[in-house]
Amino acid sequence: MHLTHIQHTTPSPEEKKDMAYYKRPYSNGNSSAPKRGNPNWNPNYKKSTVVPGSMYRPVSTPSAEQQAIFDAVVDGTGSYIVDSYAGCGKTTACVESMHRVVRKSPRTSQGYLIFAKRNAEEAIGKAPASATIKTAHAFGLQALGAVHGKIQVDKQKTDRIATALVGPDEERAELRFMLGKVIDLSKDYLATTPEEVIAITEKHGFETCDLSESEFADKVLEGMRVSKQQPNVVSFSDMIWLPLVLGIHIPTFDILYADEIQDLNLSRIEIVMRALGKSGRLIGVGDEKQSIFGFSGADRHALAKVKERSGAATLSLHRTYRCGRAIVEYAKQWVPDYEAAATNPEGEVRDVSMQEMMAEDGVQPGDFILSRTNNPTVKVAMALLKQGRRCNIQGRDIGQGLLFMLRRSKAASVAGFQSWLDEWASAEIERLSAKKKSYEHVEDKRACLESFCEGQRDLSQVKARIEDMFDDKDDDTTRVILSSIHKAKGLERDRVYLLESSFTCRPKTEEEVEQEANVRYVGCTRGKNSLLLVG
């Protein structure tokens, strides 16, 4: 079957907001966008000035590590990978380097590819006015727009393609869901063959439903072909993938800064390398010990691959300005050369009981409660709500996944859904066990849904509880914030409760052992003053 046209709807207000973000000017406010179709597309070289109202504060007394980075960027040659531990000021190092480059060589073009949207917005408020600050997705979308003109962001594009592939019937909902997930993942992996798609499907534990592995892979590749034919309407995964597979010119920079190198997937690695061009210099920052997104497609060897391809030398940032000295000492079991700045508070690491955390003088609004898996956060959130205390769980996408399970079951009652859930989980665990794959995520999802069903009379109440619980606001100091460690990466709080009982995974492979250690390290370094280990 060959599909040639998918009907797209008018973008929602939320999608229009996203489109406005991803289509902002190339530079940090002081240079115009290049003309569309220009094969030599590049931001204009203009002498940079600090953005009015900038949050930039010069680093007047740099540490030895910081000074080594500034010297290498400003006066050195070649590329560098900065091994930057948690809270060690990687954004500060990059932004300060940019300003020093501008003061010495104002015509040097500088770009900064940032992993997360919130981090990009923070850097924009501090970086030189002429620097190009973008997430990789926004960067890719700009490249598409330069060639194809007006671009519509359609978050439902992949769902529509999956529907066109297998039909809209309700009994095909599960297959549509699986196809959509694997289509997006296959773009991240730059997959081109059925064998590659089958490997991705197995690695991430997706079902092929009533299709054989080869039939499922063919559907995925057909969906990718259709997506490629529609460059003016893009999904989130298209923003990086389409410029690569369409051979669209990627703007290059004299100096390209890139953060969170350890969390890049194959498509993001390729964007970084193309933005370097033949003569650009890479200043990449990352920490192999913070590589925790292998489950979502990140390449656990990304940092090593980028270092090899760019020929980069290594610098270090191992002195944290975030964590109290006691927390740093605790984290040294995973990163022995971790160091606390002299100005850091002493801080504390201590064991507390669940009862102590839940007491009136225990967890307070603005505190983090972090968990290895999602279900423990649901249970604690339910208990807090019963006490009349405001809280939310990070991860709107997690909530959407749980709601999909309700729809997928076609159950008419809570009891019917629970029966279906048990059957689904048992079948999934059996299937994954036969392939010697981890089924931790299956048990976690079942436990989450059972928690939401507890005490509810009908499914509409279960649905409402899920919708009310999940939110991605992380700057609210009026509520207790609960989160998985993965969702909290890049964030910090004065006081962090870490649910020790949530670390139930028994890693079997070398990769799983490494990921578990990394998750613990990331979790404990979210705390600035207090790390409270909840037994």
DSSP reduced 3-state for 163: helix
What pLDDT does residue 400 have? 82
Tell me how far apart the alpha carbons of residues 215 and 138 are, in angstroms, rounded to a whole number: 34
Q: Which tokens sit at 489?
A: 């990466």
Tell me how far apart the alpha carbons of residues 184 and 137 are, in angstroms, rounded to a whole number: 14
Q: Look at 192 and 47; give whichever has higher pLDDT.
A: 192
What pLDDT does residue 1 have? 45
Residue 402, pLDDT > 50, answer yes
What separation, in Å, do the N-terminal and C-terminal C-alpha atoms of the chain show?
55
Average pLDDT of the residues in 128-143: 92
Inter-residue contact 506 to 473 (CB < 8 Å): no
Which of the listed ranges 29-43, 148-162, 457-471 does the model predict with the highest average pLDDT? 148-162
What pLDDT does residue 143 have? 94
What pLDDT does residue 277 have? 82
Q: Which tokens sit at 62?
A: 């740099």
What pLDDT does residue 530 have? 98
What pLDDT does residue 46 have? 42
The per-residue DSSP string of 156-209 comes to THHHHHHHHHH-S-GGGHHHHHHHHHHHHHHHHTT--SHHHHHHHHHHTT---T
Cβ neighbours, 10 Å, residue 432: 18
Residue 528, pLDDT > 90, answer yes
CA 255, 256, 257, 260 dihedral sign is negative
Spatial neighbors of 509 by CB under 8 A, at least 6 apart, are none
Tell me how far apart the alpha carbons of residues 43 and 27 are, in angstroms, rounded to a whole number: 7
Tell me how far apart the alpha carbons of residues 324 and 326 are, in angstroms, rounded to a whole number: 6
Average pLDDT of the residues in 78-101: 96
Tell me how far apart the alpha carbons of residues 163 and 223 are, in angstroms, rounded to a whole number: 10
Least confident of 127-136, 464-473, 491-500: 464-473
Please give the CATH number for the structural domain made up of 64-146+244-317: 3.40.50.300
Q: Which tokens sit at 138?
A: 């926004």
Quickly state the pLDDT bin for 331 (edges 50, 70, 90).
Answer: very high
Average pLDDT of the residues in 100-113: 95
What pLDDT does residue 50 have? 59
What pLDDT does residue 15 have? 47
What pLDDT does residue 115 have? 83
Residue 4, pLDDT > 90, answer no
Q: Look at 171 and 524; give whichever has higher pLDDT.
A: 524
Q: Look at 312 and 205; give whichever has higher pLDDT.
A: 312
The per-residue DSSP string of 368-432 comes to EEEESSSHHHHHHHHHHHHTT--EEES-HHHHHHHHHHHHHHT-SSHHHHHHHHHHHHHHHHHHH
Average pLDDT of the residues in 426-450: 86
Domains of the chain, residue spans = 64-146+244-317, 153-230, 324-392+472-534, 396-471
Average pLDDT of the residues in 24-49: 41
Q: Look at 57 and 47; give whichever has higher pLDDT.
A: 57
Please give the CATH number for the structural domain made up of 324-392+472-534: 3.40.50.300
Residue 7, pLDDT > 70, answer no
Q: Look at 469 and 473; give whichever has higher pLDDT.
A: 469
What pLDDT does residue 26 have? 42
pLDDT tens figures, 357-397: 999 999 999 999 999 988 899 889 888 988 888 888 887 77
pLDDT tens figures, 272-323: 999 998 889 999 999 999 998 887 788 989 999 999 999 999 999 999 999 9
- Report the mean per-residue pLDDT for the chain: 88
Amino acid symbol at 327: I
Cβ neighbours, 10 Å, residue 474: 17
Residue 40, pLDDT > 50, answer no
Spatial neighbors of 50 by CB under 8 A, at least 6 apart, are 56, 99, 128, 129
Average pLDDT of the residues in 72-95: 95
Q: Look at 481 and 5; give whichever has higher pLDDT.
A: 481
What pLDDT does residue 392 have? 87
Residue 109, pLDDT > 90, answer yes
Inter-residue contact 157 to 198 (CB < 8 Å): no
Average pLDDT of the residues in 176-192: 96
Average pLDDT of the residues in 213-226: 98
What pLDDT does residue 264 have? 95
Residue 399, pLDDT > 90, answer no
| Region at 343 (left for phi over 0; alpha for psi -120 to 50; beta for the rest) | alpha
Residue 230, pLDDT > 70, answer yes
Please give the share of the chain, as a percent, with pLDDT higher than 70.
89
Tell me how far apart the alpha carbons of residues 439 and 420 are, in angstroms, rounded to a whole number: 18
Tell me how far apart the alpha carbons of residues 428 and 423 are, in angstroms, rounded to a whole number: 9
Inter-residue contact 350 to 533 (CB < 8 Å): yes
Give me the residues paired with residue 534 across strands.
Answer: 352, 499
Tell me how far apart the alpha carbons of residues 503 and 481 are, in angstroms, rounded to a whole number: 19
Residue 336, pLDDT > 50, answer yes
